[in-house]
Structure 1
Amino acid sequence: MNATPELFDRDALRLHRARARQDALFLHLAAQEEVQDRLSMVNKSLTKPAIITPFPEIWRPVFPDARIVDDSDVLALEPGSFDLVIHAMALHWANDPVGQLIQSRRALQPDGLFLGVLLGGGTLNELRSALGQAETEVTGGLSPRVAPMSEIRDLGALLQRAGLALPVADTVPLTAEYRDLRHLLRDLRDMGETNAMTKRLRRPTGKAVFNRAEELYRTHFATDSGRLRATFELACLTGWAPDESQQKPLRPGSAQARLADALKTSEVPLKD
């Protein structure tokens, strides 16, 4: 049997990242702030960190003692060696995100913390809509242009599938504004976030598609000042390596008191 085709072309992704500009990686800086904010709320000393990132120059100054690991399919992490693993802005390009989470969990010591930040499902919804409609109108077809990104409910389920305890998934919406479509696409190139899907269109796209996409973008997503709004959604994932010291949910039916009594209200049975 043939192997399942991979969604992302990792060779193309490496080329895109190689030409990224450090001064364009504002999403990584926003992710750093989210990570530091969440770590500040952890009532525990974490001294053995590892960071999975394609841009170590961005993350190393903030975590100088961390092991920096490339986001390859097989992560260079020894089992049970870290009390903190940060997956930094790379999971949305993983062909096997569950595998990445499982490897991260195995690298954690008991009661170690996993923190992941990636682009979520609301990212570039304006660009996806405008390009999709424009290509359909102009060419009569539709090709993969903006990578599919996971919704928050799916990401929470991935944490559970990976065996992480006390899983939490939430999102942080960010908005940027651009002069025109060309400005947005150039910024994505400078971030290393352009199309690296395996089934992407391999021939140049005609100007008519981009011209029509610009019209649609301005019609539906322009700001009052005439600039183009672009949404970037940071999905933040938190989970712990299982440990006996952690709180555990009670078994169904083990409650010793009725919720209705605590609330001083009457209980009304639901209809079948």
Structure 2
Amino acid sequence: MPPRLTDSSALKIHRNRASETFLHVEVADEVQERLTEVNRRFTDPVVITPFPQVWGNFGKVIDDEEILNISPASHDLAIHVLALHWANDPVGQMVQCRRALRPDGLFMAFLFGGQTLWELRACLAQAETNVTGGLSPRVLPMGEIRDLGGLLQRAGFSLPVADSFTKTVRYRDAFHLMHDIRAMGEGNALADRLRRPTRRDVFVEAAKLYNDQFADSEGRIPATFEIICLTGWAPDPSQQQPLRPGSAKQRLADVLKSFDPPTDSTK
């Protein structure tokens, strides 16, 4: 059994103390915009989120527990919101969502990607090395879009698509940013994190490095949040299917022979 990445108890404590949901609101708006582009009316949506207050009367809203509170084939739309990056078994979460969808139901997941907080991660690593001579597990490792897109196929979804967008937020200093991260419920909940307080001079050094390397002309620092969207459909015979190997009626070589090779006019 693989080691657990996340301390679920610590994560729950952090989320219970959370007071800032602006990125969740941003994703909720993104969901509404994307759904207007889908030629489908959804009547039984379910939203998996640690912050149900953001979603109002959108549909059924459940927590992102390891065993999701959803029944098989009970929904036509499942949306997993800014929680999958903390899952100890993200593929398992996605498989549960697929099973909860009716055939040709839509799955959407939004999670933080590998470019999220790259500035802070770099400065913290450098500061801890400078001050203590070593590194400790401090920031959640987040996946890259290509790797995360592959999870859709592993979970059994059809027509998988992965894309991303970034949001840059500016703060007065690194302490302001780290306070906001805690307010989002995104503090360090790694299972292998240090169990003793970090020396303050590590954070002071990180704040100095952040300001020196990234501050703008007004003295404010940028923080990047990359949000990856994974989209897939529960399999259904009505969906477009790839051709079976060997089913082509014409050989590629014969097709290519019908085209004259282009001439190169450059010297």
TM bracket, shorter-chain basis:
over 0.9
Q: Spell out the pairing of 1:196-211 with structure 2 (5 A cutoff).
A: 196-211=189-204
Per the alignment, residue 59 of structure 1 pairs with 55
- Paired residue total: 260
Q: Spell out the pairing of 1:108-187 with structure 2 (5 A cutoff).
A: 108-187=101-180
Per the alignment, residue 100 of structure 1 pairs with 93
Per the alignment, residue 13 of structure 2 pairs with 15
The root-mean-square deviation of aligned C-alpha atoms, in Å, is 1.8
TM-superposed CA distance for 1:221, in Å, is: 1.8
Q: Spell out the pairing of 1:32-111 with structure 2 (5 A cutoff).
A: 32-61=28-57, 63=58, 66-111=59-104
Per the alignment, residue 213 of structure 1 pairs with 206
> What are the ranges of 5 or more consecutive residues in structure 2 without an aligned counterpart?
263-267
Residues 130-157 of structure 1: per-residue CA shift (max 9 Å, x gap):
0001101110110111101111011110
Measured in 2, the distance between the counterparts of 1:6 and 1:262 equals: 56
Contact 2:47 2:79 in 1 (8 A): yes
Contact 2:120 2:210 in 1 (8 A): yes
Measured in 2, the distance between the counterparts of 1:241 and 1:263 equals: 40
Measured in 2, the distance between the counterparts of 1:265 and 1:176 equals: 53
> What are the ranges of 5 or more consecutive residues in structure 1 without an aligned counterpart?
268-272
Q: 2:160 is matched by which residue type in structure 1?
A: P
Q: Does 1:222 align with 2:215?
A: yes
Contact 2:114 2:143 in 1 (8 A): yes
Measured in 1, the distance between the counterparts of 2:261 and 2:104 equals: 41
Which secondary structure does the structure 1 equivalent of 2:138 belong to? Answer: coil
TM-superposed CA distance for 1:263, in Å, is: 9.8
Structure 1 130/29 Cα, relative in aligned 2: closer, same or farther at 3 Å? same
Measured in 1, the distance between the counterparts of 2:168 and 2:142 equals: 17
Structure 1 191/256 Cα, relative in aligned 2: closer, same or farther at 3 Å? same
Measured in 2, the distance between the counterparts of 1:226 and 1:249 equals: 54
TM-superposed CA distance for 1:248, in Å, is: 1.1
Per the alignment, residue 265 of structure 2 pairs with none
TM-superposed CA distance for 1:5, in Å, is: 2.8
TM-score (norm 2): 0.92
Structure 1 28/261 Cα, relative in aligned 2: closer, same or farther at 3 Å? same
Measured in 2, the distance between the counterparts of 1:139 and 1:177 equals: 28
Contact 2:28 2:54 in 1 (8 A): no
TM-score (norm 1): 0.91
Residues 181-207 of structure 1: per-residue CA shift (max 9 Å, x gap):
110011011111111001111111112
Q: Does 1:28 align with 2:24?
A: yes
Measured in 1, the distance between the counterparts of 2:41 and 2:49 equals: 22
Which secondary structure does the structure 2 equivalent of 1:114 belong to? Answer: strand
Which secondary structure does the structure 2 equivalent of 1:75 belong to? Answer: coil
